[in-house]
Structure 1
């Protein structure tokens, strides 16, 4: 295990609901994602960390999610994006084939942070490791609800997340009372249909 991933596990803890990554997936993404990420997949699989507060995922499972969020936005023309990680509450970490960790979407609020980057293939491994090292438990814990939600609703599996009902974009309340454990893909696609995706005030805006 290299020092970067060792630090990630030191921060979050060991994987839960770990799944082995088949050779077909490593082959599918070898020219689309950094070699270092594929190396992590091969060694550590896909799984949840921080007891499931953040997940390293199979991008193929989330292709429809990515399309639902960005297909009809200016983001779609910026790069070819793949979802490589997500939080328990639906923060989506997208990787651009040329721009690296340049797009994060908060599905709860339908807002995004975009940075205009451009990396050589040689630089993308370092960008990936920077992304891994910069993850924090607190930044993935929506309103400090993860532990209470876990206690009330149970731990998440790899295809699950915590979602608000009614959704916040429909006027729902962001309290534990209105959280449910839901199918991640289905819920993320549902949220994408509720309102237009908008940039945070501090985000760059694609042109």
Structure 2
């Protein structure tokens, strides 16, 4: 078989693409003695680039060496790892010359952060694992590759397919083409980020703000008798700052601070006019003229209507769209509920507030806007279980029941219901199914070793919205 390269089976199964470029003499000379002669011959005759329908890419080790060294940190005396190829989904193949006669080729998957030995012989890797369909199709799955090509098209040199992990977790498959080297660097940076210690909390609200927006809020200070000023809402990592001036202009900023670096991200900014409306109930309602953009989230609209209330001499802004949620929290546990539903007054140099995602204590009932007062059940609702659902799953931690109250009686979605304080029962759950007259409630249950419910809900059990 005179004239054929040692890796001819690989070439026959994976013909080089037209844009493959033969390696330069300098590159061949640099890796002579470090890489097998068969691979250097392939570089010289057919070149670096994409091969075959599987789009296996032979790469310049120099371009990838620093990235591989970031993934695998080794002492100077360790065996040198040389990156040699890339699969269409970004798995990096690297070669090691273990001894004068021993070698191996391994695969580094940047998504799963795993390394596996593929072969103890480079020629076998190319001529068998990457060429024999029974082996190659297991390593590079044809169905996934076909889907990637349909969604994103054929790869260009230096690209890899990337599966969106967030959508995949929701059982949705979205595949895009991206720069392979940048993808590796991004995924490796995520590892560094995860291993980094938490950043110290910002020492002020000004310090937490995205740098480019600090100046735009500096002149929006509170004035007595006016809704003007700065108001902050925090919920887990998310922050929202609304600034109102006395002339009817507003600024609304959404962002979050990375808990490892403190850097601001996820920034969305709105500005425009706001109106102060007096409602028929005697409340003060602010209407923000929000103009949405391609970056907007649907929940941003919850801030276009804000009730202004005062308690203890301090103003608060309450989301008009979330009054029912606040009413449920006030009636059930005397808090304002999720801290994302209201804004508290601040100044830029104030210390950044301590997170309280479950909500601040509710102000006195008399201070609440009339629209919110009308929704609060000052006396706890009292419901009776009239039906218990079938228990078909011994691993389920809840069981559905139905009660004799419904939406018409004041029950709301996710409203907590529990056994009365003086009851020998200890039931607890939430409204999960709405109905005008008989809502469904998910009750937490405890099971024994056999999976049977212990002291579970029964028809006739009483549940209340607040266990006084």
Decide: shared fold, TM above 0.5: yes
Q: By how many angstroms is 1:84 displaced?
A: 0.7
CA distance in structure 2 between the partners assigned to 1:183 and 1:5 by the alignment: 28
Q: Which residue of 2 aligns with 1:10?
A: 12
Q: Which residue of 2 aligns with 1:123?
A: none
Tell me if the contact between 1:51 and 1:155 (Cα under 8 Å) persists in the aligned partners: no
1:94 aligns with 2:111: no
Larger-Rg structure: 2
RMSD (Å) for aligned C-alpha atoms: 2.8
CA distance in structure 2 between the partners assigned to 1:128 and 1:114 by the alignment: 11
TM-score, normalised by the number of residues in structure 2: 0.35
* Structure of higher RCO (CA pairs closer than 8 Å, 6+ residues apart): 1
SS at match of 2:93: strand
Q: Which residue of 1 aligns with 2:47?
A: 45
1:135 aligns with 2:129: yes
Q: By how many angstroms is 1:115 displaced?
A: 8.3
Greater mean alpha carbon deviation, residues 180-189 or residues 136-145: 136-145
TM-score, normalised by the number of residues in structure 1: 0.74
1:160 aligns with 2:159: yes
Q: Which residue of 1 aligns with 2:439?
A: none
Tell me if the contact between 1:53 and 1:141 (Cα under 8 Å) persists in the aligned partners: no
Report which of the two has the higher share of strand.
2
SS at match of 2:79: coil
Q: Which runs of 4+ in 1 moved over 6 A?
A: none
Tell me if the contact between 1:105 and 1:111 (Cα under 8 Å) persists in the aligned partners: yes
Q: Structure 1 pair 90/139, CA: closer, same or farther in 2 (3 Å)?
A: farther
SS at match of 2:176: strand
1:109 aligns with 2:108: no
Q: Please, which of 177, 182, 195 is the counterpart of residue 178 of structure 2?
A: 182
Q: Which residue of 1 aligns with 2:250?
A: none
CA distance in structure 1 between the partners assigned to 2:191 and 2:141 by the alignment: 20
Q: Structure 1 pair 13/38, CA: closer, same or farther in 2 (3 Å)?
A: closer
CA distance in structure 2 between the partners assigned to 1:101 and 1:16 by the alignment: 29
Q: Which runs of 5+ in 2 are unaligned?
A: 131-135, 193-468
Q: Which runs of 5+ in 1 are unaligned?
A: 118-126, 197-207
